[in-house]
Amino acid sequence: MTLIASVSGIRGTIGGQPGSNLTPHDVVSFVNAYAALLLEQGHGRTVVVGRDARISGDMVSRLVCGTLMACGLDVIDLGLTTTPTLEMQVPRVGAAGGIVLTASHNPEEWNALKLLDHHGCFIGSEQGAALLQKVQKGEPIPYATVHNLGQYHQDDSALEAHIQDILALPLVNRQAIAAAGLHVVVDGINSSGAVAVPAL
């Protein structure tokens, strides 16, 4: 079992002992530190969250969303979505950051927190190092009082907005593509690609 915490994100296997795997304790600790980082940067109090279709995805997403709300941050939950869709949605809604829950090519027992800044880009090495330092010091930010908890919103419009952005690109000729009569086989591996690619 493994937990890999680096400036590029938090990746690990589900279950086992805290500190050695991606357990609920570890998810909460890293999300709390990320919330502190966002509040320090002052780009707002909203975070966009989305995930792939991993077995642990729903569970980890609920932990992430609940922790952000407990830190006083509002959550926009895209649910099952692609990484680029979430990256584009962060600046579209003026969010302070975003969290993509996906372990990419790793096997099913893995999951990860990929952290974005207010531009929708993965946080840089300086921000990543600051986050890791917060976790290592073991000094979580105080959680919000009951009247200052964050709000939760679901948003199922992000994928369609992403698709419209693609179709609006000057190099995309919708009429020529449609007229070509192409047949395309897609292996969406039972994840977000199975939703996004057929829609596109």
179-195 exposure pattern, b = at least 16 Cβ within 10 A, e = fewer: eeeeeeeeeeeebbbeb
Question: Which whole-number Å values give the CA distances from 191 to 31, 53, 103, 197, in the listed order?
Answer: 24, 5, 12, 11
Q: Which position among 6, 20, 104, 125 bears the catalytic label?
A: 104
Q: How many CB atoms lie within 10 A of CB 113?
A: 24
Check if 104 is active-site: yes
Rounded distance between C-alpha atoms, residue 40 and residue 128, angstroms:
14
- Are 46 and 74 within 8 A, CB to CB? yes
* Catalytic positions, written as ranges: 104
